[in-house]
Amino acid sequence: MDGESSKKLINGLVLGLNGSSVLLVIGSLFLIQIFSVLYGIANGIQINYGTGGVPRQFETFVSQAAYMHEGILESYVLVVVAIILLETAFMLFLRRTDRTTSGARKYVAMHTAFAVIYGLIFYIIYVNSSQYLNEPYMWAIYLGVALSIILGVALNYIMRMPVDHASALKRTLKVDPARPFSNMLELQEHIFSRLGGHLKVVDKHFNSAALTNFHRLVSDNLKQFSEITIITSTEMVDSNFGRNIADFKKELEANNVGFELRFMDENDKVDQHERMMLDDSVAYKIPPFNIINKRSEHIILIKHEEAQRRFAQLYGRAISFENYSVKKARAPDQDAPAGQ
């Protein structure tokens, strides 16, 4: 399944979950109304005729007043569960694009679990009071429980399916130097809007200009990412780089996205010429980010497993931006002659 089809299907299923949750809230409120009316009638008959004087045709009905009272209490519990279902469905709607991380899937699992709990409680109520629950609007509950469980299972399965980015991109995307503005739009639409989870970048020429382009490409889809890690080198670090990185990190953290920048080991800086980008399921060979929209170069899908392995190697030998900054700040003192 390609990314666009997957996105549309997920959107439809999430909307279905919200609809089924609304049905369960409405159905739970109707249950309270039904049992409240029945309990009131039963007590009214008993009070009217007194102890032992209840007509035979009402004896069975009045004797079940205790079940009706329990039904009221259990229906209140159903209302609470239904509200939790509605809240989790709404949170899932807000995070529906976050399919590659565990965040959205946790809401799906939570919604499905509470739907099962709701169904079990309703079954207990139905067993004790089935003769009073034959009203047509009880189908709101039957339908709501069935949809919540079926859609939840389907959504969890689809969110775990790998996205066929190759089908959507036909394996390559050509950057035309004569169309820098259009290139950015196409990059955002055809690649960056489809990424998610932990986004990792290897680009040893990643400077302030690269950060500007990177921000333009990811800013509209920040909620899709749980973390962003960039591995670069010190070759093109300019005077504003540290401040720009700090501001960018602060902005990401405000959107609940983790961020880390690391500098390559000196040997890797010499050997690593290829630039790449990968998320949880797909990897690309890319031009330098500082000219990603201007360089005549293809953006090509590469093997994710190999890209992940290479990224892990570079990451393990790299130094964090913070540690590098401390080391650089101390360097003049270490190099100064004794007594100065």
Question: 3-class DSSP state for residue 274?
Answer: coil
* Cα–Cα nearest to 11, from 87, 91, 86, 93: 93
User: How distant is the alpha carbon of residue 150 from its chain centre?
Assistant: 20
Q: Phi then psi for 174, rounded to 5 degrees? A: -90, 130
- Residue 104 has a pLDDT of 75
The torsion region of residue 277 among left (phi > 0), alpha (psi -120 to 50) and beta comes to: beta
pLDDT digits (tens, 9 = 90+) for 12-39: 888 999 999 999 999 899 889 888 988 8
* Cα–Cα nearest to 149, from 108, 185, 178: 108
* Cα–Cα nearest to 71, from 128, 140, 114: 128
- Residue 170 has a pLDDT of 45
C-beta of residue 275 within 8 angstroms of C-beta of residue 206: no
Distance CA 340, CA 332 (A): 11
pLDDT digits (tens, 9 = 90+) for 174-231: 788 888 888 888 888 888 888 889 999 999 989 999 999 999 999 888 888 999 999 9
Tell me yes or no: is domain 165-335 CATH 3.30.870.30.
yes
DSSP annotation string for 279-304: -SS-EEE---GGGTTTS--EEEEE-H
Distance CA 30, CA 127 (A): 17
DSSP state of 250: H
C-beta of residue 259 within 8 angstroms of C-beta of residue 253: yes
C-beta of residue 183 within 8 angstroms of C-beta of residue 213: no
Beta bridge partners of 284: 277, 301
Distance CA 118, CA 309 (A): 45
C-beta of residue 214 within 8 angstroms of C-beta of residue 289: yes
Q: Which CATH number fits the domain 3-160, given the four candidates 3.40.50, 1.10.3470, 1.10.20, 1.20.58?
A: 1.20.58
Three state DSSP letters for 218-232: HHHHHHHEEEEEEEE
Token pair listed for 230 = 């960039």
Domain spans in the chain, listed from the N-terminal domain onward = 3-160, 165-335
- Residue 164 has a pLDDT of 54
Q: Residues of the chain whose pLDDT is less than 50?
A: 100, 166, 168-170, 334-340
Pairing, β 197-202 against β 283-285: unpaired
